[in-house]
Structure 1
C-alpha cells in the first residue's frame, strides 16, 4: 500500500510562493489593523500596532497595484496605464533588439571585448592534448565525415569547391606573382639546379636525335661535300662542339652563356612585375588556359585526389585518436603554444572575423530577436518576463508592506510626542 505524499503548503514555483507570501502578509496586516483599532482603548501600545498595520496595508496595496499593473489589469478593471507589458509588446521587442544591437553587436564593442581574449592559447591548449581532443570530438566524428565524403555524389559536393578555386585563380594577377617568385629564386640561387637539369636534358635530347641531326646536315650540304665525305666530318664536329658546350656550362657556373641566362631571367622577372604589356599577355594566356577543357579536367582530378586523400586521412588510425588528422591538430596546437608570432596572427584573425560577423550580421540577429518577440502572444511575453523577474517583484511587495508599516509607526510616534 502506497502512502500518499503530503500536498505542499506552497507551490513548487518560487515566484508563486513569494506572491502568496506577500498576499498573506497583506491579509495579516489587514486583520491586525482591524483588531488593533477595535481594542485600541484597552492599551496605548495598540495604537502603535494599528498605525503600523494601517501604513503597511497602504504600502502593500500600492506595491501590489504597481506590480500587477505591469503584467495585467488589477482586478480586471480597465484602469488606464495598466497591463503595460502586454500592451507594449511590440515596442518592447524593438527596444530589446535596439539595445542588443547598440551595446553588444557593434564592431567596436566586439573588438574591445575580444582584445584581451587569447583565442590562440585556448585553441592551442585544446588541440595539443590528444586525449582531450579524442574525448570531446571522438573518432566517430571523423569516421562520420569520411562516410559523408565517400557516399555523397563527388560532382555535387565538388562543383562548389571547383567553382570557388576557378574564381580565385581568375582574380590572381599572375604576372607580378610569377615575377616575384622568379626574383626570389634567382636571389637564393634556387634556379641553378633547374638550369643544370635543363642542360642535362638538352644533352640527352641531342644524343637521342644524333642520327636525325646528321641526316639534316648531310641533306643541306653540297654534292661535292657528300662525295668527299666532308659532310660526316662537319656533322661530327658540330655535334662534338655542342656536347662540349653543354659539358662546360654544366661544370662552370661562371660560364658566359650561363651568365647570359641569369641576366635574361632577371630581366624577365623585372618585366613581369613592371611591364604592363607583358602582364596583359600573361593575363590573356591565363584566361585562355582557364577556358581550355584540359584545365577543367585538371580541376576534376585535383578534387578527386583531394577527396580521396581526405577520406584516407580521416580513416587512418593513430595512437592519439582521430587518425592522422588528430596528430596534425595536436602539432598545430603545440605550435600555437610555442610560437608567439603565430598566436598573434591567429588572435588577430579571430578578432577581425568575429567583429566582422557582428558588423555584417548584427542587423539580421536583432531583427530575428525583434520578430520572434513580436510573434509571441501577449500572454507568452507576460509569463516569460514574469517568470524571470517575478521573485524580485514579490520582494518589492513584501518590502513595501514592511517599510510602509515602519513609516506609519514613525509618524504615529511623532504625532504622539510632538
Structure 2
C-alpha cells in the first residue's frame, strides 16, 4: 500500500478491533448551546451506526457457525456479510472526509484538513459567482419591494419612534466623539473663509441697492419720522430749554420764551409736514443719500475700505472665536435637549415627517419605484465593485482556521446526516448481499 508522505495530523490508532470514529474535537473553544446539541446528536448517530455494524458482525459469526446445521442461515450470513461490507465501506468514505481512517495516511483521505484552503477558495468563488451576481441581487431586491416594506414599517406603529430613538442615539454618540475645540475651529475657519475674507462693501451695496430700488426702506423711514414727530410733540419744554440755554445772557427771558415757542412750533410743523407728505424734499434727500451710499459701497474704494475697517473692528479674532464657541454651544445644547425630550418640537416633527414619508412610500407608486430603482442601482454598484472583496472574506476566514478545527466545525454541522449514509449503507449492503447470494444460489446451486 502506498503511504502518503504528508505529516500526520492525528496520532495513529491501533488497526485491530472494530472501526470507530471519535467525536468532533472541540479544541479550546467552548461550544455554544446549539453546537453542543448538535455534538450530542452526532455522537448518538455514530453509536447507532456502530451498533448496527456490531450487530451484523455477531449475526454473521452465529450464522456462519451454524449454516451447515441450518442451511437457511446461509441467507442470513450473506445478508450480514453484505451489510458489514456496506457499513465498512461507508464508514471509510465518511471518515475519509474528516480524518485519516484509523490514523493510516491512505491517499485521498482526510480531504477537508488537507484541502481546507482550496475548499475555502472554491466556496468563496461559488458564493461570488452564484450569490453576488449583480443581476441576482437586483432581481431579489425588486421581488421583495424594499420601499413598500420600509414604508409600511415607518408608517406603522412604532416605526417612527424606533427611527427617532436610534437617531437620538446616533446624535448623542456623535457629540461624545466630536471634540468641542475641533468643531469650534472648523466653525471659526468657515466664518473666516465665507464671512470675513470676502469684502463686505460690494455685496452689502448690491443688497441695499435692490432694497432701495424696491422701496422697502420707506417703512423704516416712516417709522423714524413718526417717532421724531411724536418726540417733538411730547417735548415742548425740552425744545424751549435748548433755545434758552443757547441764547446770549443779555437777551431778556421773555424773549427767550417767545423764541423757544416759535422754534418749537416750526420744528413741529416741519416734522408733521415730513410725516404727512410722502414726496417731501427731506424724504427725497434721504432716498438719494441711501442710493449714493449703496453705489459707493460697490464702487468707491474709500467707502469699501471704511466698510472693511468697520468689519475688522466689529469682528476681530476674539469676537470670531467667541462667535464660534457660542454657535457650537447653542447648536449642541439645543440638539441634545431636543433628542432627550420625546415631546420636544423637533422630535415630534421628526416622527411626523418619518410617518408621512412612510405613507408616501406605500401610497405613491412613482416615488416607491424611484427609490426601488435607486436601491437596486446602489446594490448593483456595491456588488459589482466589492463582490470579490466580500467573497474574499470567506476564503480568508477559512484560510485562518486550523485544519483540524475546520474539519471539526464542518463535521459538527453535517456529520449527523452523514451517519445516515453509514446506516443506509448497512441496510443496502445487507439487501444487496442477500440478493446476490439468492441469485447465485438459484442459478448455480
Per the shorter chain, which TM-score range? 0.5 to 0.7
Tell me the residue number matched to 2:390: 365
Q: Report how far residue 25 of structure 1 moved.
A: 0.6
Instruction: Within 5 Å, give how 1:344-355 maps onto structure 2.
Output: 344-355=369-380
How far apart are residue 341 of structure 1 and its match? Answer: 1.4
Quick one: structure 1 residues 16 and 369, their matched pair in 2 at CA, closer, same or farther if it must change by over 3 Å? Answer: same
Return the match for 1:199 from 187, 202, 214: 214
Q: Contact 2:338–2:344 (CA<8 Å) still a contact in 1?
A: no
Mapped to 2, the partners of 1:159 and 1:22 lie a distance apart of 73
**Does 2:153 match 1:153?**
no
- Say if 1:106 and 1:358, in contact at 8 Å, map to a contact too: yes
1:336 aligns with 2:361: yes
TM-score of the superposed pair, with normalisation by structure 2:
0.58
- Partner residue of 2:226? none
User: Quick check: 1:396 aligned with 2:421?
Assistant: yes
* Residue 129 in structure 1 maps to residue 156 in structure 2: yes
Q: Distance in 2 between matches of 1:320 and 1:16?
A: 62
* Cα separation, 2, equivalents of 1:37 and 1:88: 43
Cα RMSD, aligned residues only: 4.2
Compared with structure 1, are the counterparts of its residues 156 and 338 closer, same or farther at alpha carbon in structure 2 (3 Å cutoff)?
Answer: farther
Note closer, same or farther for the CA distance 1:321–1:207 as it changes in structure 2 (3 Å cut). Answer: closer
Worse overlay, 300-309 or 328-337: 300-309
Computing the radius of gyration over CA atoms, which structure comes out larger, 1 or 2? 2
The equivalent residue for 1:24 is: 51
What 5-or-longer segments of structure 2 have no aligned partner?
1-36, 195-208, 224-278, 288-315
How many residues of Structure 1 are paired with residues of Structure 2 in the alignment?
A: 303
The residue matched to 1:393 in structure 2 has which SS?
Answer: helix
Q: Distance in 1 between matches of 2:184 and 2:368?
A: 32
Q: Does 1:417 align with 2:442?
A: yes
Q: 2:97 aligns with which of 70, 94, 111?
A: 70
CA–CA distance in structure 2, aligned partners of residues 415 and 56 of structure 1:
17
Query: Which moves more between the two structures, 313-322 or 84-93?
Result: 313-322
Contact 2:100 2:106 in 1 (8 A): yes
Task: Describe the shift of the 1:143–1:113 C-alpha distance in structure 2 as closer, same or farther (beyond 3 A).
Answer: closer
Gaps of 5+ in 1: 1-9, 170-193, 209-237, 247-292
Residue 201 of structure 1 and its aligned partner are, at CA, apart by 3.1
**Residues 149-186 of structure 1: CA deviation (Å, up to 9, x unaligned):** 4443246468899999xxxx9xxxxxxxxxxxxxxxxx
Q: Distance in 2 between matches of 1:371 and 1:410?
A: 50
2:33 corresponds to: none
> In 2, distance between residues paired with 1:63 and 1:385?
18
For the Cα contact (< 8 Å) 1:162–1:299, is it kept in 2? yes
1:144 is matched with 169
